[in-house]
Structure 1
């Protein structure tokens, strides 16, 4: 605010010098307004153009006074301008405005709170599927990683409602909160649910005691990385071949087997309320339907061929990369 005030004062002083110069030449030299303006400008700017006529003693003294006054005001103005840009960091301001414009254009995006280990993995997977996302992070080290990775982000605290408002939560499709503290994740879930009562909220938890609290607060899914990691390692001992086979089933990449989720709403209208048998994916693309999610969010493993393709339901399809590609091209 001080730098901005100085900038305002310098503008007033420059205007005052211009008025003094014009008024002085009009009174002392009896010049017209335009000629007085000309004399004042060439005197203040010290460009060296010739005068309109030979100056008398009084005019010379006034001109010297005007030059000295102009130099003093110029010095003050340069100082104020330098201080303003140094304090405000104009490049940072322009960068923030650009980020705000990008956020305003986002729709059906995912908000990721925290860019630690889990946050990085989440963003990488979203980018792999060309899903728009924005990250909010306050730690300097992670902010450096975000800038290096070219990820859209804002520097802020996800537990602060004012910072959350900047993320366009009302237009978002989902939110992933991967903060180190369960208490912080709980606060984010509570706050985010107030901004959007319909979108999906996925949060991580370190303690089992936090699971119920996070679900009660409004989290759609609660992931416990430590528990999943330990269970996975134990499974490699008990059923190693089965686990390795399941690990080969991915939702992207060059694996031998990929999974794909198909919304019945995205299928051609001719298949609505028909059966899986009528869809005939095996013959059309080589893929197999291995799961079905009803409109009531009930999951059916290895559904019957007579299962109806109702609105708002989803198919889980298994196939090789080439078959999945043909599936996308066909349907």
Structure 2
């Protein structure tokens, strides 16, 4: 936006310099009086007693008026156009958004607002997590703004753009760009900026999975493979539809990872006791510290600080469970 004001501002500054030097040289005024007379002339207020009596001064004043008025009207025209087009309002919204992003910590950065990125943002909102979208396509800015999503415009492969999105303070990064090469580069850059960042990357080609892992991704997801598996499952075993629909996670059902903290409600309970106390919640898996994930843990296993359990159930019960 400010680039459009360069020419009119330059013209106004040149007019001020031209007028000041002219009155100083032609009329012999000191620099302050020359500048004062120039400002009065350009503002159309006039110079009080009228311009200098000399013919040279009159000719110079006429030239200053023509040049100065042209410069001022150019500046006013550009300013009016910018205000009428809504650029000022958009600039103010971007400024407020940048300030909000600068205050964030522990948020999630989503690269690209395509079909996958939109689904990610919806799920983050459902989980009541804060997400910041990086989107390089200007035509999507309006759609993002309509959904009141925190947004940073720019190329997510650019380190400066990742920094503006607060990648160094973020908890997670979702690389949802439709280019595997771009996702690899984003992963490499983000991992260097934030070694503790949890990175989930999208891979369209199976050959890209190893590259993304080596680049620093914690998990790699292939949307096409996942959707293909689901379609095959529904075709071969139609009765599995209800279970699959559960995993779509409606507004009242959530699949969540719960950490067992010292003194929490889960600390010291066996898996069976936890299932009994929180009826309606399914404990799907358990991971002990320095161990792999065990699906369908034994009922007698006792939960301890540092354990992670994967649970599926109503949101209200899961919130109590995590206290």
Q: TM-score range by the shorter chain?
A: 0.7 to 0.9
Hey, what does 2:293 align to over in structure 1? Answer: 299
Render the CA deviation track for 1:143-185: whole Å, top value 9, x for unaligned: 4432333322222222233333322211111111122222222
Q: How many Å separate the matches in 1 of 2:221 and 2:146?
A: 28
Deviations 1:275-309 (A, max 9, x none): 33696452355534332222336212222344333
Tell me which residue corresponds to 2:178: 180
Partner residue in 2 for 1:133: 131
Corresponding position: 1:214 with 2:205: no
In structure 2, the partner of 1:264 is 260
What TM-score comes out, normalization by structure 1 length?
0.75
Per the alignment, residue 11 of structure 1 pairs with 13
State the match for 1:73 in structure 2: 68
The range that moved more, 164-173 or 133-142, is 133-142
Change (3 A) 1:22 1:160: closer
Higher CA-based Rg? 1
Q: Which has the higher helix share?
A: 1
1:287 aligns with 2:287: no
Question: Structure 1 residues 271 and 155, CA, compared in 2 at 3 Å: closer, same or farther?
Answer: closer
1:123 partnered with 2:121: yes
The C-alpha deviation readout for 1:123-155, integer Å capped at 9, x for no partner, is 111122221111222234444432333322222
Q: Residues 57, 116 of structure 1: CA spacing in aligned structure 2 closer, same or farther, 3 A cutoff?
A: closer
Q: How does 1:162-181 map to 2 (within 5 A)?
A: 162-181=160-179
Partner residue in 2 for 1:313:
307
Partners of 1:116 and 1:142 within 8 A in 2 = no
Unaligned runs of at least 5 residues, structure 1: 28-32
Q: Label 1:98 to 1:233 Cα distance change in 2 as closer, same or farther (>3 A).
A: same
Q: How has the CA–CA distance of structure 1 residues 169 and 236 changed in structure 2, closer, same or farther, with 3 Å as cutoff?
A: same
Q: CA deviation at 1:112?
A: 1.2
User: Could you say which residue in structure 2 is the equivalent of 1:30?
Assistant: none
- Residues in 1 aligned to 2:283 and 2:277: alpha-carbon distance in whole angstroms: 12
> Which whole-Å deviations, capped at 9, do the CAs of 1:75-133 have from their partners, x for residues lacking one?
22332464588799555544433332222122111111122211111111112222111
Matches within 5 A, 1:225-244: 225-244=223-242
Q: Which moved more, 1:39-48 or 1:148-157?
A: 39-48
Shift in CA distance, 110/305, structure 1 to aligned 2, threshold 3 Å = same
Kindly indicate whether the alpha-carbon contact (under 8 Å) linking 2:15 and 2:67 is maintained by their aligned counterparts in 1. no
Q: Is residue 51–residue 57 contact of structure 2 (8 Å, CA) maintained in 1?
A: no
Question: Number of aligned pairs?
Answer: 316
- Alpha-carbon distance, 1:310 to partner: 3.0
Structure 1 residues 305 and 165: CA distance shift in structure 2, 3 A: same
Q: Which blocks of at least 5 consecutive residues in structure 2 are unaligned?
A: none
Q: Corresponding residue for 1:157?
A: 155
Q: 1:42 to 1:157 in 2, by over 3 A?
A: closer
Q: Could you say which residue in structure 2 is the equivalent of 1:328?
A: 319
Moved more, 222-231 or 144-153: 144-153
2:271·2:303 contact (CA, 8 Å) conserved in 1? no
